[in-house]
Every structure is written in C-alpha cells, then in structure tokens.
C-alpha cells in the first residue's frame, strides 16, 4: 500500500544550524538521532532539510560493514530519489531490472519490476560499507552533525516528566534534545532502556551472507532460491529457508540465506554450515565455493512485523530495525527504514514548529505511529500470515511447484512481496493488494 509521506522536503530548504556544545562539553540540538544506518541517516537528512539542528550519533566509524543483502527494490530506490540521492550508474550504483526466481527444479523464472506510476522501474545494488557512508555524508551535507565512535549507553530522562531529553555515551558525553530517534538496530539498547521490548510472537528471521568472486557479478537481476538442497538438486534433502544472490557489478556477488522463526530449524541450526552445504551443490561455474570467498560468513537478525511498539513513546521515536520494520514477505528492511525516517522527520518538524513541550507538539508526534499504521500496519499483518504459510514445507513445495510456471500469478506475487503497487487507479492486482492491506488489522 503506497502512501505519500507527510511534509514534502523537496521545497526550498531552510539552512540547518549545527548542534551546539555547552561549556561542559554537552551537545545540545533540536533532535538527537542514535544510529547512522540508512534509517537514521535518512531521518537526519530530512530533519536538517527542515532546518532543525541534528546530532547524528554512530557507534563505529565509517566506512563500516553491515550484514545485508545489498539489494534494493524500487521501493527503496524511490526513497533515495526523494532524499536527493543520485542513483545513476555514473554515481556508482548498479541498476537491477527485476527478480529471477529458482524453485522446484524448474528453469529460473524472471520477473521484471512492474511498470508503475508510484515507483521507478529499477532496483539498485550497492555494498553497505559504501552505502551507509554515502547516506551519512548526505545528511552532513544538508546540515546534520555526525558524531562517530559514539556508543550510546542510556537515555537521559527528565525527572519531572519521565520523558527522554537526551542520551549518554560510553565515554561520558551527553547529547541533549527534546526529541530523540532510536535508529540503533534490532537490539536497540535505547528502546529497551525506555521500557520498549520486543514482542516474540511477531515474525523474526535470521540471515547469513558472504561475498564471492564470481562471473555472475554483472547479472542485472536479483536472484532468489526457494529451495536449498544439501546434495544434488531434486535428489537430496531440502534445507530450511531461502537463498539469494545479488550481483555487485565489481566482480563479486553477495550470496546468503535466511530462515524464518516459523521454521522448525530456527534457532536450532548452524546457519553458516547450512549455507556451505547449499552452495557446495550450486553449479561449479558460478564460483560459490570457499576458495572464492572474499570475507567470512556473517549473520544478523531480521526483526519483522512491527515487533517493538509503540513507535513513539515519551519523546522517543523508533525507526527501522529498532521498531521491527523489516518486511515479513521478502526480508527487505532498508526501504521501510528510510520511509519511516521521512515520516518521523515530518512529525518532529511539525512538533518543533508547534512549540516543543506543548500539547499541540505532542499531538504532532503521535501522528508518527498513526502514519506507520496507515502505511504499513495492514501489510505487516498480512506478512504474519505469509510467514506461517511458507514455514510449512508442504505448502511451500506446492506453491513453488504449481505457482512458478504461471506468469500472471507470479506477477501478482512479485507486487505483493515487494509491496509495489500504484495507490490510485492501479490495475486489478494493485487494487486487490491495496484492499487486502486496508482490510487487515494493523500489526
């Protein structure tokens, strides 16, 4: 379901003032953003474009690596364009034409991205080590102040109101602001310290990946493997989960697998060994072998289904993985983190202009979770049902065997999984998916 975020940051932009340091070293700003991943940096960039002074805190130093598939759908591409990022090939991006699906011993099925008014018809690939650095620098260019090697350990609370008014870092520094954004990932130490814990009944995934030198690096499709075999395909045992290959365009490929918590193998398997077993039985010419690895196999959690709520609480707004915003349908998190960042920035700017600490400002901040529910709540709820279904190997086998050969059905599935529909006056598929999202209770 596609919603245009409140507040267009594409108008003439006021100049953001830098965060200020007091005589005791405390940094004071209009907003503190904790975490300079895609969600945090996007939030900071939008806030700075609204003219607010922003302190953007990153616990490590750029460039730094993150576990991710590195592939971006047109939904993420749209958000980068809205941020003002140059997504051209000349700017270092690899363009992707769609999704290639392998399943049930059949020839791969190619699904070009749908032709839509609301979204571009190309996806992107870029390594996270470079991508995150680019977004952080983009936020700085617009006026945010980046503090690297700043590991936030706890919130600072106003004893009178019990609202967050800043954060403390491991080295003793304080960063104060009347509004704070937690974009600090799945573990979100800040959210937990504010009493916001994960809901273990919501979908959760785990992913492992590595990079390989491979002749498939220049492919122009993201690839998805619905069946993983521990021996010869079709003549051995099926492994749980799904796999991917994202061509990096630099002589390497990002290859990995994910497992959902609806699988009996979740939390009970050696995922790295599972990945090795699967890749050992892929075609030799692809190059997905230990000797071609350019780095170790790394893993990360995929928090889904809005598994930490509320997304606004006592001056704290959750963005991205901290609020469980990964799609249960396809494991995509970056698009939703950046989109949520735009919603959060609009709400914060509105609150700032209404007068910090007033009832009207609080109403503006309460609009943020309402915006998320309207945009993604029903879609995330549908994802709960989806992960339960595909967690059943029998159902998954039936779907891949009988669904893959049917072009019209697979086009529908592509739109559903990638959440790519026109919000208004779309085709029949768009209208069905949009209606389902509206009718589903919010996650």
Task: Output DSSP code: residue 326.
Answer: B
Mean pLDDT for 78-90 is 97
Which two structure tokens, joined as six digits, stand for 440? 């589903």
Query: Does pLDDT of 95 surpass 70?
Result: yes
Give the Å distances, CA to CA, from 293 to 64, 207, 218: 19, 17, 17
User: Across 65-69, 79-83, 379-383, 407-411, which has the greatest mean pLDDT?
Assistant: 79-83
Q: How far apart are CA 428 and CA 47, in angstroms?
A: 37
CA distance 333 to 172: 32
**pLDDT value of position 176:** 98
The distance from CA 258 to its chain's CA centroid, rounded to whole angstroms, is 15
Half-sphere exposure of 409 (CA within 13 A, CB side): 9
Cβ atoms 293, 279 nearer than 8 A: no
Helix, strand, coil % (nearest 5) of the chain?
A: 35, 20, 45
Between CA 261 and CA 327 the distance in angstroms is 14
Q: What is the DSSP string of 115-140?
A: --SSS-S-EEE--HHHHHHHHHHHHH
For residue 266, pLDDT over 50 is answered with yes
Report the distance separating Cα 366 and Cα 374, nearest Å: 13
Q: How far apart are CA 209 and CA 271, in angstroms?
A: 10
Report pLDDT for 11. Answer: 43
pLDDT of residue 268: 85
When pLDDT is averaged across residues 58-86 and rounded to a whole number, the result is 94
pLDDT band at 5 (very low <50, low <70, confident <90, very high): very low
Q: What is the mean pLDDT of residues 103-108?
A: 75
Show me where the domains of the chain are located: 20-94+127-200+305-387, 204-303
Cβ pair 13, 49 in contact under 8 A? yes
pLDDT given for residue 400 in this prediction: 66
pTM over the 0.95 mark: no
Does the pLDDT at position 106 exceed 70?
A: no
CATH classification code of 20-94+127-200+305-387: 3.50.50.60
Q: Is 273 helix (H, G, I), strand (E, B) or coil?
A: helix
* Per-residue pLDDT at 264: 80
- Model confidence pLDDT, tens digit, residues 139-171: 999 999 999 999 999 999 999 999 999 999 999
Q: What is the pLDDT of residue 181?
A: 98
pLDDT (0 to 100) of residue 114: 96
Q: How far apart are CA 418 and CA 73, in angstroms?
A: 7
CB 129: neighbour CB atoms within 10 A?
14
Mean pLDDT of the chain: 91
| Tens of pLDDT, residues 382-422 | 998 888 777 666 666 666 666 666 788 889 989 999 999 99
Query: Cα separation of 317 and 347, whole Å?
Result: 10
pLDDT value of position 3: 43
Window from 54-58, 101-105, 371-375 with minimum mean pLDDT: 101-105
More confident position, 241 or 92:
92
Predicted pLDDT at 4: 42
Residues 13-63 pLDDT 10s = 566 666 776 656 799 999 999 999 999 999 999 999 999 999 999 999 999
What is the pLDDT at residue 1?
Answer: 38
Edge to edge, the sheet with strand 164-169 lists 20-21, 27-28, 174-176, 164-169, 152-157
* φ, ψ dihedrals at 171, nearest 5°: -90, 10
What's the burial of 441, exposed, middle or buried (CB within 10 Å: 0-12/13-18/19+)? exposed
Residue 184 banded pLDDT, cuts 50, 70, 90: very high
Q: What is the pLDDT of residues 187-240, one digit of tens each?
A: 999 999 999 999 999 999 999 999 999 999 999 999 999 888 888 877 787 787
Backbone Cα Rg of the chain: 22
């Amino acid at each position: 379901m596609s919603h245009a975020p409140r507040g267009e940051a594409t108008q003439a932009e006021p100049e953001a003032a830098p965060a200020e340091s007091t005589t005791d070293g405390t940094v004071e700003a209009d907003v503190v953003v904790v975490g300079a991943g895609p969600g945090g940096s996007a939030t900071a960039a939008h806030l700075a474009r609204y003219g607010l002074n922003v302190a953007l805190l990153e616990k490590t130093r750029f460039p730094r690596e993150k576990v991710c598939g590195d592939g971006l759908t047109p939904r993420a591409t749209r958000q980068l364009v809205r941020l003002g990022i140059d997504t051209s090939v000349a700017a270092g991006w690899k363009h992707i034409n769609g999704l290639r699906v392998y399943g049930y011993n059949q020839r791969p099925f190619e699904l070009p991205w749908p032709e839509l008014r609301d979204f571009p018809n190309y996806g992107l690939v870029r390594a996270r080590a470079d991508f995150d650095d680019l977004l952080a620098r983009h936020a700085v260019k617009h006026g945010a102040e980046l503090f690297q090697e700043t590991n936030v350990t706890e919130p600072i609370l106003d004893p009178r109101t019990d609202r967050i008014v800043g954060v403390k870092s491991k080295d003793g520094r304080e960063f104060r602001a009347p509004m704070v954004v937690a974009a600090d990932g799945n573990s979100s130490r800040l959210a937990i310290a504010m009493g916001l814990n994960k809901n273990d009944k919501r979908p959760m995934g785990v992913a492992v990946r590595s990079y390989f030198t491979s002749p498939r690096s220049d492919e122009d499709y993201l690839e998805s493997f619905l069946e993983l075999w521990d021996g010869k395909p079709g003549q051995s045992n099926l492994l749980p989960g799904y796999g991917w290959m994202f061509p990096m365009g630099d002589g390497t490929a990002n290859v990995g697998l994910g497992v959902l918590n609806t699988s009996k193998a979740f939390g009970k398997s050696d995922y790295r060994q599972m990945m090795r077993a699967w890749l050992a039985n892929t075609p030799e010419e692809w190059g997905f072998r230990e000797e071609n690895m350019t780095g170790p196999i790394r893993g990360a959690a995929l928090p889904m289904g809005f598994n930490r709520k509320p997304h606004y609480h006592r001056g704290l707004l959750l963005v991205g993985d901290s609020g469980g915003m990964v799609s249960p349908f396809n494991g995509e998190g970056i698009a939703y983190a950046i989109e949520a960042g735009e919603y959060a920035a609009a709400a914060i700017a509105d609150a700032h202009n209404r007068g910090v600490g007033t009832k009207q400002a609080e109403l503006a901040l309460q609009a943020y979770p309402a915006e998320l529910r309207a945009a993604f709540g029903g879609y995330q709820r549908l994802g709960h049902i989806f992960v339960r279904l595909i967690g059943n190997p029998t159902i998954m086998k039936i779907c891949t065997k009988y669904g893959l050969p049917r072009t019209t059905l697979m086009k529908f599935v592509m739109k559903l999984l990638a959440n790519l529909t026109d919000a208004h006056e779309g085709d029949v598929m768009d209208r069905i998916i949009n209606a389902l999202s509206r009718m589903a209770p919010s996650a």
